[in-house]
Structure 1
Amino acid sequence: MRTWSTPALTVLCLSGAGMIGGTAILLGALFLHNAPSNALSQEYRQQLDGLVYPEFEQNWKLFAPNPLQQNITVDARVQTIAEDGEVHTRDWTGLTARDAAAIRHNPAPSHVDQNMLRRAWDFYESSHPAEDGAVPGQRGKLAEEYLKRIALQRFGRTAGGERILQIQFRSAAKAVPPPAWSTEEPGESTPYKELPWWPVDEDDYRGLL
């Protein structure tokens, strides 16, 4: 039977206590973030938002949420600059289509492929409710940065061997067809939403592989 030395036991105990404590803090913060407004959540709202957004954003409810009514797809394209200074606009790339292809026929699909882009777009839309071009607050800017970095991680620093200057997103919302027994009429149109071009600089790649 292996005997651990006192220093080794101390390190193991402290590491275990740190992991348990960190997990408890994270779960407590997520609970407070989703709980009805109270004195504690109001006092520490800024710290809670800083911990939760954007990676740990929650959308669960006490009771089952409404099912999705639309299939949302997100595409992106980039503008690049050649060595002679000529700017080229690349074709649209289906980011959602890539995720769907990675999930299809995969018995254990990645959480990244299933949810990262979808939640990033939900986060963007929830933080940009105005249609009048109003400048969003800090949460909206964070949503833009998060969405941009997800796409740039997939594109890389270049496209067609040329440096990326700008990136643009668009989404398509197609209604989920009703079941055969329903009297509802299926939606015919697929509305598109196109965002403005966003500049890309080296800071946007900070920390990306």
Structure 2
Amino acid sequence: MPVRSLPARAALVVAAALLLGGTGLFLAALFLHVAPPNSVSKEYQRQIDAVVFPEFEQNWKLFAPDPLQQNVTVDARVQTIADDGAVTTRDWIGLTAQDIAAVRGNPAPSHTEQNLLRRAWDFYDATHPAQEGAVAGPRGKLAELYLKRIALQRIGRTAHGERILQIQFRSGSATVPPPAWSTEQVSTEAVHRELPWWPVNDEDYRGLR
């Protein structure tokens, strides 16, 4: 068996210590993420979120699976303005349909294709009261910007050669039907929600590729 030099052994020891330390910190972050709120998780919430999100996010409570209960679709359409000032409302674009098409038949779909749009809509829905005229707080404004930028990244700066002036979203949500053997009876009729038009400017594209 070859005998390693002292520097080589020292390098191996340091590498092993770093790996063990990193693994321990990673497991500790995951544990604090799923554990009930406590003083440590509250103090280091930002660092814990940076480790867990988005690759290791869990959509379940500890020992209590919480699968999605609804099928939600999100569509968007834009208004464009021509050089002569004419404004045109374009057809709806199925953003969720795009994600489904990218995932279907793909043995290893990306996290963004599966969850980015869905979580963005969940964020918006959770921060915007259903009452007409209700004003969203700072998190609500962030949710609006997040949803808008996801759509604009897909659509681009122009549509049919014309500059995008405004964007609008609509959603449809329907309860997942129970299995055939279940006696549970739920309504599977889709509920639709249409948002107002949001103006689009150059700042909305900042940092988008």
Could you say what secondary structure the match of 2:149 adopts? helix
Partner Cα distance (1:24, 1:143) in 2: 34
- Residue of structure 1 in register with 2:153 after alignment: 153
Could you say what secondary structure the match of 2:136 adopts? coil
- The answer to whether the 8 Å contact 1:33/1:48 transfers is no
Q: CA RMSD in A?
A: 3.2
What residue ranges of structure 2 are gaps of 5+ in the alignment?
Answer: 1-6, 8-13
- Residue of structure 1 in register with 2:120 after alignment: 120
- The answer to whether the 8 Å contact 2:165/2:201 transfers is yes
- Residue of structure 1 in register with 2:87 after alignment: 87
Structure 1 residues 173 and 135: alpha-carbon distance in aligned structure 2, compared to 1, 3 A threshold: same
2:180 maps to 1:180 = yes
2:61 maps to 1:61 = yes
**What is the number of residues matched between the two proteins?**
195
User: How much has 1:50 moved relative to structure 2?
Assistant: 9.1
- Residue of structure 1 in register with 2:195 after alignment: 195
Alignment-mate amino acid for residue 164 of structure 2: I
Alignment-mate amino acid for residue 86 of structure 2: E
Structure 1 residues 197 and 34: alpha-carbon distance in aligned structure 2, compared to 1, 3 A threshold: farther
Partner Cα distance (2:131, 2:27) in 1: 35
Alignment-mate amino acid for residue 89 of structure 2: T
Residues 135-192 of structure 1 deviation map (CA, whole Å, 9 limit, x = unaligned): 2222111111111110000000001111011111111012212211122335252110
Partner Cα distance (1:101, 1:124) in 2: 23
Partner Cα distance (1:130, 1:186) in 2: 22
Percent identical among aligned pairs is 67
Partner Cα distance (1:65, 1:123) in 2: 20
Could you say what secondary structure the match of 2:73 adopts? strand
Q: Normalising by structure 2, what TM-score?
A: 0.76
Could you say what secondary structure the match of 2:151 adopts? helix
What residue ranges of structure 1 are gaps of 5+ in the alignment?
Answer: 1-5, 7-12
- Residue of structure 1 in register with 2:11 after alignment: none
- Residue of structure 2 in register with 1:76 after alignment: 76
Bigger Rg, structure 1 or 2? 2
- The answer to whether the 8 Å contact 1:77/1:168 transfers is yes
User: How much has 1:67 moved relative to structure 2?
Assistant: 2.0
